Amino acid sequence: MYQVFDIQTDEGIETVAEATSNGIQRNISGTLETALPIPPSETPSEPGRFEVTNPFEGTQVGALAGDTAQLQLSVVSCDGAVWTGEAERDVTGAQTQVHGCLWEYEEGYHLDLYMQVLDEDQGLIAGAITEGVEGIVGNPREWAEQIAVETTETIDQDIEDAEITHIEGRPAELEGAPWIMQETR
């Protein structure tokens, strides 16, 4: 799953990065590892975009791993981003990996979120427990969508003048998102 947002604000990189970090942190069980790479010497006219690659694609290791394992070996790169973040949310039966890239460009910022849900193979009893947990707190795919919504919601709340636009994503629509609420203000 991925989501791409445009953020219009006069705030600096540190402020937008902090709000982004705060939003992601609300939904993960572990530590959010972040980096503030040195920005380009000139602000680009267009935002960057994340890339997902498999370092073992086309190798014997990749061939032995098979299609499912290759998805789990995917690496997200954010070359040129002014902030990056990686985190995991572990819940019985599944692990959600979250990767964020914040790009500065002349008009503002783009935030790219890539979330990968890795389901664990489970036996009958563990599967029943997982179903029970998901019945109470939702399933991992819903959590991934919630990460995107609550991250942008936090940016909207923490940065007074922020205007957030949903550019694209999979799933294409997210309910309860602040950019939807901005249209009614």
3-state secondary structure of 18: helix
Strands 83-91 and 94-105, by their bridges, are antiparallel
Q: Where are the domains of the chain?
A: 2-175
Of 74-83, 118-127, 163-172, the least confident: 118-127
Side chain identity at 127, as an amino acid letter? G
CATH 3.30.530 fits 2-175, yes or no: yes
pLDDT score, position 73: 63
Residue 56 β-bridge partners: none
The whole-chain average pLDDT of the chain stands at: 80
Q: Which residue has the higher pLDDT, 15 or 129?
A: 15
3-state secondary structure of 31: coil
What are 141-168's pLDDT values in tens digits?
A: 777 788 899 999 999 999 999 999 999 9
Task: Order across the sheet with 2-8: list the strands.
Answer: 33-35, 83-91, 94-105, 108-119, 2-8, 163-170
Statement: the pTM of the whole predicted model exceeds 0.85: no
Nearest to 72 by CA among 95, 93, 49, 51: 95
Q: Are 104 and 43 in contact (CB under 8 A)?
A: yes
Q: Are 165 and 6 in contact (CB under 8 A)?
A: yes
